[in-house]
Chain A
Amino acid sequence: MGFNENQTATIHGSEPVVSVAKPELINGSHAVIQSLIAEGVKTIFGYPGGAIMPVYDAIYDYQDQINHILVRHEQGAAHAAEGFARISGEVGVCLVTSGPGATNLVTGIADAIIDSTPMVCIIGQVASHLLGTDAFQETDVMGITIPITKWNYQITTPDEIPEIIAKAFYIAKSGRPGPVLIDITKDAQQKLMTKPFVHKKTETLLSYHPRIAPKDEQLAAAAKLINQAKRPFLFVGHGVQIAGAEQELLQFIEKTDVPAASTLLGLSSMPVDHPNYVGWLGMHGNYGTNVLTNQCDLIIAVGMRFDDRVTGDLNRYAKQAKVVHIEIDPAEIDKIVKADAPVVGDAKKALEMLLPLVNENNHEAWRAEFRKYDAIEDQKITQPELAPTTEKIKMAEVIRTLSDKTKGEAVIVADVGQHQMMAARYYQFKKPSSYITSGGLGTMGYALPASFGAKVGAPDREVVAIIGDGCFQMTIQELGTIAQSGLPVKIIILNNNFLGMVRQWQQLFHQKRYSFVELQNPDFITIAKGFGIDGHTCAKREDLHASLDKMLASDKPYLLEVLVEKEENVFPMVPTGACVADIRLE
């Protein structure tokens, strides 16, 4: 038999659960919540179900200490936790049930591992005596999530709970952050602990020792290369924001006068109007940054992993350059690009320690070369995008107008596709932690849930989700979560009735054979209104300013649909497998 929910039943028909409780002992579910509170968790994104119901029962008693946001699908919980974590630097927490609840989280967990996002997922599991019996809503979530978690662990007794949760938070947040999954059997949630509850934060583990301060000899070797370089080029990765190294980065850049470019996830680590900022790298990055990657004599890569979207063809990537690679994860060193001077450590600590070792320098002439390419890009791409002569609105002008109106200070949560690249290109980021997007996994449907997660993490900042019409329909149900929680997220749908990026590739590489990329879309505004969210559609250029003003003036969630040009392409572009220097402008 199983056991019923009234806390007086027995497990396996014999072992008393609560009836012989010593008054000071709590059950596993309360231990879960008290551990979360002890770890400083204030918000949980979750969805209840059978195998996690005891924990939900416990949450009922802690509503004054823990804010639970009920999502509409577990994938939404994962992305919301990611959005929260990315903006706050804290660990995002998801709480879901076994089986489908757990498998629905998988996309978000995979997204979090590749984008190094700290997350703790607490998952209910069938009772331990049912494990391996194909019980109702049982799935081997441990097996499923091994390749996509930084760590996972199955708890079968309540006494393990405080220690494992402490360990989970430490692992998720320290070193290179990532998602941790804890699977808790239902009996472990229901049974009483055999000893009084004590939660002690973990600060060290036997087998896991992330290196924060790099070794002196590594720093010395890096400084030597930096001081010798004539054409150094600094790449700003996501690790800068994870480490909170924005100030150290600026000090380093200003002392050495190196030009600096950002990866997609590194965007907003430094202000775009900084004289040393030369743009972003990669497939849809800037013209000069890509071409000059193959002309610099030194790459200083900080907290980035040489993703294939950044490097293009590796056989023709920066062969002339030496490489200093500052990275907290030793497995990233030499993984893609061989480092001449690896520096294993936290970006903040590494830059801080490197600063006194590097010489003051002047690279004005070298930096000026980027501006030559900028001028070409500006003339061929940026200006036609921002001041179009076409009738239909272009994505770029929506983004740039939004950027101007929000003074570059909003948090932009972009989904995946052309609008993501346009947001990266045309929003002029002034503040750190302002661009949140699914970089590594490229998860469509990410932005809507991530945006309300971000709003929870930064309630005082304007959060604007930029979403394509395809992406929006992947997690459209999270409008319900936004409406219920009252989080004043602003949502812009750039609607071109296409899966735009796929269509672009089909146009460029598949002879315009537009295979299943045109969408018959619903009336998004009516849908939003059905959820109780106000919104309107902007179809004409002359209405764009007023539409954005109206959206920004609202103190409630708001949906703005902008009907944009149907067949628009994102350029520049480094086609897959091409060399970065062969970046296409058309």
Chain B
Amino acid sequence: MTSYTICVFTENSIGILNKITTIFTRRRINIESLTVSETERKGISRFTIVIRSESREAVEKLVRQIRKIIEVLAVFGYLNEDIAYNEIALFKVSTPIGAKPLDIETINKVYKAWVVYWHLTYVIIQKTGTEEEIFEFFDYIKPHEILEFVRSGRVAVSKSPQTLVDYLPEAEWEYYQ
């Protein structure tokens, strides 16, 4: 199974998420993660969808079906090497009195993770990175007892020098603010 990152650029309108996900549902393709936000261009949303597939051909067909949605401006399918990508994870880790203290230096310097909230009995650590990096850190911090763990969807941009606007129809694109 290969991971594919599908970036979908759409008009920012009600119901568009439904229109996109139904394309996956119908073909029984599971969405591993999904992130949506407005792009640097006003009114254009970017969906970053990660799926796994054994067939590049199936992913290409999927991309063409997504492109058929009227509100969709552009769709790109990427392999991991085509993109710079990251996720963000938050770990709520138990730190009761008397327990083995956290090695903050290792957390910071080795794992590039940061404590973002201190409590008497726990801390919240933020770690950004790839899925693999996040799970490496997961294994490291596990002995301290993970009370809660949450991981975002992937965000990704293409390594290609072309920008989004190169692919969009000609228009006066305003910056998002």
Chain B's closest residue to A338 (CB) is: B57
Verify A207–B22 contact, CB threshold 8 A: no
A152 to B71, CA, bound (A): 10
Verify A208–B70 contact, CB threshold 8 A: yes
On chain B, the number of residues with a Cβ less than 8 Å from chain A's Cβ atoms is: 21
Stretch at the interface among A141-149, A373-381, A431-439, A539-547: A141-149
Tell me which residues across on chain A come within 8 A of B61, comparing CB atoms.
331, 334-335
Known: A154-B14, A207-B11, A331-B64. A171 touches B70 (CB 8 A): yes
Tell me which residues across on chain A come within 8 A of B72, comparing CB atoms.
207
Tell me which residues across on chain A come within 8 A of B70, comparing CB atoms.
150-151, 171, 205, 207-208
A209 to B18, CA, bound (A): 22
Interface residues, chain A, with chain B CB atoms under 8 Å away: 142-143, 146-147, 150-152, 154, 171, 205-209, 329-331, 333-335
Q: Could you show 19 A-B contacts with beta carbons less than 8 Å apart?
A: A142-B15, A142-B18, A146-B15, A146-B18, A147-B22, A147-B26, A150-B70, A152-B15, A154-B15, A207-B10, A207-B11, A207-B70, A207-B72, A207-B169, A329-B68, A331-B67, A334-B57, A335-B61, A335-B64
A208 to B11, CA, bound (A): 11
Known: A171-B70, A331-B68. A206 touches B171 (CB 8 A): yes
Verify B169–A143 contact, CB threshold 8 A: no
Least distance between A298 CB and chain B CB atoms (Å)? 22
A335 to B71, CA, bound (A): 22
Interface residues, chain B, with chain A CB atoms under 8 Å away: 10-11, 14-15, 18-19, 22, 26, 57, 60-61, 64-65, 67-68, 70-73, 169, 171
Tell me which residues across on chain B come within 8 A of A335, comparing CB atoms.
61, 64
Least distance between A203 CB and chain B CB atoms (Å)? 14
A298 to B41, CA, bound (A): 46
A335 to B26, CA, bound (A): 15
Verify A330–B64 contact, CB threshold 8 A: yes
Verify A206–B11 contact, CB threshold 8 A: yes
A146 to B171, CA, bound (A): 28
Tell me which residues across on chain A come within 8 A of B60, comparing CB atoms.
334
Least distance between A559 CB and chain B CB atoms (Å)? 40
Least distance between A148 CB and chain B CB atoms (Å)? 10
Tell me which residues across on chain B come within 8 A of A171, comparing CB atoms.
70
Tell me which residues across on chain A come within 8 A of B10, comparing CB atoms.
207
Known: A146-B15, A154-B14, A330-B67. 17 other contacts (CB 8 A): A146-B19, A147-B22, A147-B26, A150-B70, A152-B15, A154-B15, A206-B73, A207-B10, A207-B70, A207-B72, A207-B73, A208-B70, A331-B61, A331-B67, A331-B68, A334-B57, A334-B61
Verify B22–A146 contact, CB threshold 8 A: yes
Point out which of A147, A330, A333 has the most chain B C-beta atoms below 10 A from its C-beta.
A147
Tell me which residues across on chain A come within 8 A of B19, comparing CB atoms.
146
Least distance between B43 CB and chain A CB atoms (Å)? 9
Tell me which residues across on chain B come within 8 A of A329, comparing CB atoms.
68
Tell me which residues across on chain A come within 8 A of B67, comparing CB atoms.
330-331
Least distance between B26 CB and chain A CB atoms (Å)? 6
Least distance between A311 CB and chain B CB atoms (Å)? 16
Tell me which residues across on chain A come within 8 A of B71, comparing CB atoms.
207
Chain A's closest residue to B171 (CB) is: A206
A209 to B167, CA, bound (A): 13
Verify B64–A143 contact, CB threshold 8 A: no
8 shortest interchain CB distances as A-B pairs: A331-B64, A151-B70, A207-B73, A208-B70, A147-B22, A146-B22, A331-B68, A331-B65
Tell me which residues across on chain B come within 8 A of A154, comparing CB atoms.
14-15
Chain A's closest residue to B57 (CB) is: A334
A331 to B72, CA, bound (A): 14
Tell me which residues across on chain A come within 8 A of B64, comparing CB atoms.
330-331, 333, 335
Point out which of B22, B26, B70, B171 has the most chain A C-beta atoms below 10 A from its C-beta.
B70
A150 to B70, CA, bound (A): 7
Tell me which residues across on chain B come within 8 A of A333, comparing CB atoms.
64
Tell me which residues across on chain A come within 8 A of B65, comparing CB atoms.
331
A206 to B10, CA, bound (A): 10
A154 to B18, CA, bound (A): 14
Least distance between A114 CB and chain B CB atoms (Å)? 13
User: A206 contacts which of B26, B57, B68, B169 (Cβ < 8 Å)?
Assistant: B169
Verify B18–A143 contact, CB threshold 8 A: yes
Least distance between A231 CB and chain B CB atoms (Å)? 28
Tell me which residues across on chain B come within 8 A of A152, comparing CB atoms.
15
Least distance between B77 CB and chain A CB atoms (Å)? 14
Chain A's closest residue to B23 (CB) is: A147
Tell me which residues across on chain B come within 8 A of A209, comparing CB atoms.
169
Least distance between A397 CB and chain B CB atoms (Å)? 43
Chain B's closest residue to A152 (CB) is: B15
Least distance between B28 CB and chain A CB atoms (Å)? 14
A331 to B66, CA, bound (A): 9
Least distance between A575 CB and chain B CB atoms (Å)? 26
Least distance between B49 CB and chain A CB atoms (Å)? 17
Least distance between B71 CB and chain A CB atoms (Å)? 6
Chain A's closest residue to B10 (CB) is: A207
A334 to B64, CA, bound (A): 10
Tell me which residues across on chain B come within 8 A of A143, comparing CB atoms.
18
